[in-house]
């Protein structure tokens, strides 16, 4: 083959600004095959018409299009680039990225509001009353405490299940129990938004009605200690919702975290 009109890999690298290692990586992916490889030396040679192919690959990288998808924008003979399809796909990914960023901002705003409330709570004296709006939770039975191996494994699995069901996260997670005359049930919960059609029918989704809670700070996890923390409320015969969540403040103590324990107030005091 006449190599006079061919480019070495070094020349292609200089003319495109793409590192030689990257060009070889593109070859491994099958998206930039050399026009000729010398069987004796192993040197790779390219044509001038392959420079636009490299440019299209760079466009995919800029648009965060996975390079494994590049062949869908290129004919098998690498003679034509489907730029309309490439741009359309890149536009779709860009809009998705915007939605993802907006979702992260929404969640961060929720965390900020929760953090501000908890910081104010820590500076208050004694127990306080806090009104919680209706919320939905992903809840699974759990009888242990927070920050235990079983807790860490289970809550990790719950986050994966929530993501798999395309549900939005809320700002809270922790322990939840119901004290009724028929007995007590305890769960591990993660707050979610259940607006998606059919989400509320999932067996793991639990609705918590709007209610007012008496809240107290505890130094360790243990939702079963609620009767000792709220003895006057437990002396009253009504069904209670108990919640325990970590107190996340601006300076979080990883060694000695604090917890907020809540007990729903009787109906007449709401």
Distance CA 65, CA 58 (A): 10
Residue 168, φ and ψ in degrees, nearest 5: -80, 140
Same domain, 128 and 186: yes
Instruction: With beta carbons less than 8 A apart as the criterion, state whether 25 and 70 touch.
Output: no
43 and 121 share a domain?
Answer: no
Domain annotation covers residue 242: yes
Same domain, 245 and 129: yes
Q: What pLDDT score does 270 carry? A: 41
Task: Looking at the structure, tell me whether residues 64 and 120 fall in a common domain.
Answer: no
Those residues whose C-beta lies under 8 Å from the C-beta of residue 145, and which sit 6 or more positions away, are: 151, 175, 220, 221, 222, 223
Give the total number of structural domains in the chain.
Answer: 2
- Whether residue 93 is contained in a domain is answered as no
Predicted confidence at residue 1, as pLDDT, reads 56
Tokens 């901002």 locate to: 105
Residue 66 φ/ψ, nearest 5 degrees: -55, 135
166 lies in the same domain as 246: yes
| Single pTM value for the model | 0.69
Q: What angle is formed at CA 186 by the lines to CA 264 and CA 251, rounded to 5 degrees?
A: 70
Residue 183: inside a domain: yes
Residues 67 and 159 in one domain: no
Say which CATH number the domain at 75 has.
Answer: 1.10.1660.10
DSSP alpha helix (H) spans, 2-82: 9-16, 20-29, 51-62
| Cβ-contact 130, 65 below 8 angstroms | no
Partners of 266 in the β-ladder: none
Nearest to 231 by CA among 198, 196, 263: 263
Give the pLDDT means over successive 10-residue stretches in the chain (270 positions).
Answer: 80 96 94 90 92 95 94 88 95 94 88 80 80 93 93 95 90 94 93 81 92 92 94 94 88 84 81
Q: Is residue 103 part of a domain?
A: no
Distance between CA atoms of 236 and 220, rounded to whole angstroms? 25
Which sign, positive or negative, has the C-alpha torsion 77, 83, 88, 92? positive
- With contact defined as beta carbons under 8 Å apart, do 189 and 173 qualify? yes
Give the structural domain span for 22. Answer: 7-81
């Amino acid at each position: 083959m006449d190599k006079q009109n061919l480019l070495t890999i070094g020349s292609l690298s200089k003319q495109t600004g793409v590192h030689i290692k990257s060009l070889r990586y593109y070859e491994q992916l099958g998206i930039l095959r050399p026009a000729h490889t010398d069987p004796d030396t192993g040197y790779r040679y390219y044509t001038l018409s392959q420079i636009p192919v490299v440019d299209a690959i760079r466009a995919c990288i800029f648009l965060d299009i996975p390079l494994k998808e590049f062949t869908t924008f290129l004919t098998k003979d690498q003679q034509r680039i489907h730029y309309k399809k490439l741009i359309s796909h890149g536009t779709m990914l860009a809009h998705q990225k915007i939605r993802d960023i907006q979702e992260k901002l929404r969640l961060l705003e929720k965390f900020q509001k929760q953090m501000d409330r908890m910081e104010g709570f820590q500076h208050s004296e004694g127990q306080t009353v806090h009104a919680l709006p209706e919320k939905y939770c992903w809840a699974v039975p759990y009888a242990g405490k927070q920050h235990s191996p079983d807790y860490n494994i289970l809550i990790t699995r719950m986050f994966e299940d929530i993501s798999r069901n395309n549900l939005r996260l809320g700002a809270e997670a922790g322990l939840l129990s119901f004290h009724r005359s028929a007995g007590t049930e305890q769960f591990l919960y993660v707050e979610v938004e259940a607006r998606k059609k059919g989400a509320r029918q999932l067996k793991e989704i639990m609705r918590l009605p709007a209610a007012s809670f008496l809240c107290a700070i505890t130094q360790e996890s243990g939702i079963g200690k609620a009767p000792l923390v709220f003895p006057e409320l437990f002396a009253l015969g009504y069904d209670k919702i108990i919640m325990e969540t970590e107190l996340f403040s601006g300076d979080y103590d990883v060694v000695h975290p604090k917890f907020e324990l809540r007990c729903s107030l009787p109906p007449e005091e709401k």
